[in-house]
Amino acid sequence: MTAAACSLANMAYLRKTMKEEFVMAERGGLLKGILIGGAVGAAAGLLFAPKPGRELRSDLKNRYSDVSVKTKGMVSDMATKTQNMVKQVGQQATDIMDRTKSAVNAAKTEAQSYKNEEPNIN
């Protein structure tokens, strides 16, 4: 197989793999998509710029480490944002509940006051 044919075969395989990985990422969520996308990108970069085995393994290890660190940071940020959002929603729900209770109590008081003021027609 010639180098051009090999390169075309690799590109076709990568395209097919990337499509499959994209569908899986949509199903599996953002984190899975990021990891798969990073792996496919690293593989594509290495296929188009081949290096000696030791250097290639070192690059793979470094890229995996970088993606891992970035992913952990994103997960941590998302967790913090989610916790803050949950606290906000909880506080807003408590505020709405308190205002509703106050409005109901005021309505009860007003109704009782109106009932006590109404003259008896009997």
Q: What is the pLDDT of residue 64?
A: 82
Report which of 20, 17, 12 is spatially closest to residue 42, judged by C-alpha positions: 17
**What is the arithmetic mean of pLDDT over 27-38?**
70
| Cα–Cα distance measured from residue 119 to residue 96, given in angstroms and rounded to the nearest whole number | 36
How far is C-alpha 7 from the geometric centre of its chain's CA atoms? Answer: 35
Spatial neighbors of 64 by CB under 8 A, at least 6 apart, are 42
pLDDT score recorded for residue 4: 47
Whether residue 2 is predicted with pLDDT greater than 60 in this model: the reply is no
Stated as kind and residue range, the H or E segment containing 110 is: helix 53-117
- Pull the structure tokens for residue 50: 């081949």
Structure tokens at 19: 């499509």
Interaxial angle between packed helices 3-28 and 30-48, expressed in degrees from 0 to 180 and rounded to the nearest 10: 170
- Residues counted in the chain: 122
- At residue 33, φ and ψ (nearest 5 deg) are -65, -40
- What's the pLDDT tens digit per position in 51-93? 677 787 787 788 888 888 888 888 888 888 888 888 888 888 8
Q: CA neighbours within 13 Å on the CB side: how many for 101?
A: 6
Using a pLDDT cut of 70, give the percent of the chain over it.
66
pLDDT in tens, 4-21: 444 555 566 666 666 665
- Determine if the pTM surpasses 0.75: no
Q: If pLDDT is split at 50, 70 and 90, which confidence band does 121 have? A: low
